[in-house]
Every structure is written in C-alpha cells, then in structure tokens.
Amino acid sequence: MPKVSVKVKWGKELFPGVEVNTEDLPIVFKAQIFALTGVQPERQKVVCKGVTLRDDTWGNFALSNLELPEGLVNLGNTCYMNATVQCLKTVPELRNALLDYDQRGGTAGHLTSALSDTVQALEEGGAGRCAAAAAKLLHALHEAAPHLAERGAGGQLAQQDASECWTEIVRALRVRLTLPEPESKAFIEKYFGGTLDVELVCSEAQEPPTRSTETFLQLSCFISQDKMSEQITKMSETLGRDAVYTKTSKISRLPAYLTVQFVRFYYKEKESINAKILKDVKFPLDLDVYELCTPDLQERLTPMRNKFKAVLTHRGRSSSSGHYVAWVKRDKTWLRCDDDTVSPVTEEEVLKLSGGGDWHCAYLLLYGPRILELPEEDEPMVTEVIEDATGAPPTAQA
C-alpha cells in the first residue's frame, strides 16, 4: 500500500492525517513537512521507530496504515455497555469461545448469544451490522437485568454503571460457556476466577484464628482503605458478644486475567446520588501481585509479571451520568474505543487516566498474563527458503 496516513509530531505540535506516498522519493515527504512546520528539508531529522529517514531512499523507514477495529454505536447512554464489550473482547480465549459459541436458549443464553453476535460483527466489520448486533445485545442485557433498562424523566435510557454491566455479562458467561472435555472447571472460573485464603483473628480475646477460603471474579480496590487487611465486627463465642476481628486475605489462586475495580462511587444521602471519588490513583502498566499472594503460591510462582490489557474509564461526577470509554491494547498499540469512534493513543495518555480531576478516571482494569517463553534445549535453527510463485528471487526466513 503506497499511500499511508501518518501523524507528524514537531516539538509540542501534532499534525494528524498527513498522507505519504511511499512511491515518491522521501524528499517529497520532507517537502510536505516543510509546508507544515516551515523547517527546510536539509535541516529536518525525520525519525520513526528509531530509524532516520534519508532523502533518496525509504530503506528501513517502514510506514504502514494502522487498521483500526470497529466501534459500537451509542444507542442512547449505552457507552457503559460498549466499553465493557471492547474490554472483554481483548481476552483472546474469551473472544474465540464466543466466536465458536453454540447458540442456545434461556435468559443467560440470550445474552451470551447476543454477545457472540456482537463480537462476530466487530471481527468482520461493517457499521450497520455492528449497530444491529449492539441493539440485540442491549435488548438481551435488559432482559437479563431489567434494572439496566431504567429510563430518565424525558423517556430516554438512563446512564448505567459499567461495573454492573460487566457483572451481568460475566454472570451469563459463567452459566453458558463451557470448556471441552476432560476439563471440569467452568470457562469463567478458569480464566477469570481466583481464590483467597482468609484468616480471622480476634483483637479482644485469646482465641485460635479461623481460616476459610473465598472465590472472586474481580478484586475491589477501595480507594480510602485496604480491604486485603481490614477490621470487622462479628460475634465472638469466647466473649459471648460482638468483637473486633482483623480479617486478612491472601490470593491462593491467581486468575489468568485479573479484573480490578476501583470503587469510586458511593451514595450521598443528602443529594440522593452516587457520588464519585476523584482522587488520583496511579496504576502500573506492569502489575506485580506477588506480595498479595499466600506463601505457598509465592513459592510456586516463577519470577513473572502480569501485562496490562485494557482499561475502562468513566468521565463525570456520578455513576448515573457522565461517559464511559474503553482503552485497549492491541498488539503493541493502545486504542481508545469511544463508542463507534476508535483512535490510536499513546501509553502516556493511558497513564493519565489515574484520576484527580474531571478527565477520564480508570474504573475497571483488566490485566492479562505475560507468557514466559523458554527456548528448547539443543534446538537447531531451521532456515526455510520460500520461492515466490511469480518467479521473484527466493527469500530466506529463520
């Protein structure tokens, strides 16, 4: 493809949509840059991915059009649903399972079937088909969770909480998606489910600690307090009354895809609204949860990290208003999925989603595994020679 649309950054200025014809000599492109910036071609240093552009040949200065995925049209305050779908779609195992889903009935089946159709439409493209699939998904979502179909005073659909939408969709998937034999674990439990070892120690009496296990599909990050170690009140058999206990939770099973929710909304009785905590909360692109795991799991973990996959953000002051957007990573490129508008963004723009103001704040984070690839011992290097069917000279691939 000789014609490529690129962004040109010069100092603090950004010039999007600059069309480059790679069949022309690079000096023509430099003339375009001169028209934009006023910098003479001989004084320009044009760099892309560490390669400097020459005047007479493109050489290793490789340019290609970024193929953007399809978006989902907003059907009236449905950004919460669109953002949820775009984030969940980044999980390859889930995407493949939905593409292969055997259509069946039941309320949960309707929702899973509609999600399968939506993912299929997003994969194959076409604004009309994606809009029709989104409408079917919205209907199935309302059927499964009628409270998400509430309308405002003017009759329009009310804004809903993306976390509730996420929970409803995962609940349906938990019922309908299965793994091939001989695996007995359900699909959602395998890829999204984790286990906590919980210990309760009484702070007011000498009694043996009690231990139990709890399962989770997402971890809640309470901005104002640490819920992995907290104070609770419960009945003490030793004292015969309520007493304060310290509850400590450690991860004993880590899911392949870890969902983290920033609990940003709380109910303000005076105003009768779900208010938002705007506090700036930094999040890493590489998440190390080693310190949150049980000693046994720590021993079994190899030195590994989790790799950042997707962010669902909210902009606004309450969960019943504002706007939701999905920020997803596709290969090495970050994309902003704002309903039916999909555009590339930088890593720096993603890191600015930590909150602290009225800009988009991270609300749901989805981390995926970083695969540790180990070379096989004594594996010889194989070189394959492929000859082009057109009679062009052969090329070697290692």
Of the candidates 79, 165, 202, 293, the residue annotated as catalytic is 79
Rounded Cα–Cα distance for residues 44 and 64 (Å)? 21
Instruction: Give the range among 147-161, 187-201, 265-279 with minimum mean pLDDT.
Output: 265-279
Residue-level pLDDT at 384: 34
Structure-token match 């590339």, residue found: 344
| Coil vs helix vs strand at 226 | coil
CA distances (Å), origin 271, targets 140, 151, 266, 267, 275: 32, 19, 12, 9, 9
Residue-level pLDDT at 159: 92
Residue-level pLDDT at 302: 62
Give the mean pLDDT of 95-118: 85
Residue-level pLDDT at 308: 59
Rounded Cα–Cα distance for residues 99 and 89 (Å)? 11
Strands, DSSP E only, in the chain? 3-10, 13-21, 47-48, 51-52, 194-202, 210-216, 219-222, 229-236, 241-253, 258-263, 265-268, 273-276, 286-287, 306-315, 323-330, 333-338, 341-345, 361-369, 384-386, 395-397
Q: Please enumerate in sequence order all residues whose Cβ is within 8 A of that of 230, keeping only pairs 6 or more positions apart, or say none.
A: 246, 247
The answer to the question of residue 344 being in a domain is yes
The answer to the question of residue 377 being in a domain is no
Residue-level pLDDT at 105: 55
Please give the residue range of the domain that contains residue 264.
79-191+255-369
Give the mean pLDDT of 361-380: 71
Residues 26 and 111 in one domain: no
Residues 12 and 103 in one domain: no
The answer to the question of residue 380 being in a domain is no
Residue-level pLDDT at 184: 61
Q: Does 94 have pLDDT greater than 90? A: yes
Residues 185 and 214 in one domain: no
pLDDT digits (tens, 9 = 90+) for 1-48: 578 888 888 888 888 778 889 889 999 999 999 999 999 999 999 988
**Residue 323 is among the residues annotated as catalytic for this protein:** yes
Reply yes or no: is the peptide bond before residue 182 cis, omega within 30 of 0: yes
Give the DSSP per-residue string, 67-87. -PPP----SSS-HHHHHHHHH
Report which residue type is found at 35.
A
Residues 202 and 342 in one domain: no
Rounded Cα–Cα distance for residues 310 and 308 (Å)? 6
Residue-level pLDDT at 382: 37
Q: How many CB atoms lie within 10 A of CB 41?
A: 16
Of the candidates 221, 293, 323, 360, the residue annotated as catalytic is 323
The answer to the question of residue 393 being in a domain is no
Helical (H) or strand (E) element with 322: none
Q: Does 124 have pLDDT greater than 80? A: yes
The answer to the question of residue 391 being in a domain is no
Rounded Cα–Cα distance for residues 94 and 7 (Å)? 33
Percent of the chain with pLDDT over 70: 89
Please say whether the beta carbons of 345 and 334 come within 8 A: yes
Q: Does 187 have pLDDT greater than 70? A: yes
Question: What residues are paired with 384 via a beta bridge?
Answer: 397
Put residue 46 in one of left, alpha, beta given phi > 0 → left and psi -120 to 50 → alpha.
Answer: beta
Residue-level pLDDT at 106: 62
Question: What residues are paired with 19 via a beta bridge?
Answer: 5
Please tell me the pTM assigned to this model: 0.76
The answer to the question of residue 35 being in a domain is yes
Residues 260 and 293 in one domain: yes
Q: Does 181 have pLDDT greater than 60? A: yes
Residues 187 and 291 in one domain: yes
Q: Please enumerate in sequence order all residues whose Cβ is within 8 A of that of 374, keeping only pairs 6 or more positions apart, or say none.
A: none
Residues 154 and 276 in one domain: yes
pLDDT digits (tens, 9 = 90+) for 39-76: 999 999 998 877 889 988 888 887 877 778 899 999 99
Instruction: Using the CB atoms, write b or e for 330-361: b if 16+ within 10 Å.
Output: beeebbbbbbeebeeeeeeebeebbbeeeebb
Residues 230 and 291 in one domain: no
Residues 227 and 262 in one domain: no
Residue-level pLDDT at 375: 52
Residue-level pLDDT at 216: 95
**Residue 165 is among the residues annotated as catalytic for this protein:** no
Residue-level pLDDT at 391: 32
Residues 263 and 246 in one domain: no
Residue-level pLDDT at 179: 82
Q: How many domains does the chain have?
A: 3
The answer to the question of residue 136 being in a domain is yes
The answer to the question of residue 106 being in a domain is yes
Q: What is the CA radius of gyration of the chain?
A: 26
Residues 174 and 293 in one domain: yes
**Domain end: 37, 52, 67, which one?**
52
Average pLDDT of the chain, as a whole number: 85
Which CATH number covers residue 34? 3.10.20.90
Residues 306 and 210 in one domain: no
Helices assigned H by DSSP within the chain: 26-37, 79-88, 92-99, 107-124, 127-144, 162-176, 187-192, 295-300, 347-351
Which CATH number covers residue 239? 2.20.28
Which CATH number covers residue 346? 3.90.70.10
Give the mean pLDDT of 339-366: 90
Q: Which is more confident, 80 or 281? A: 80
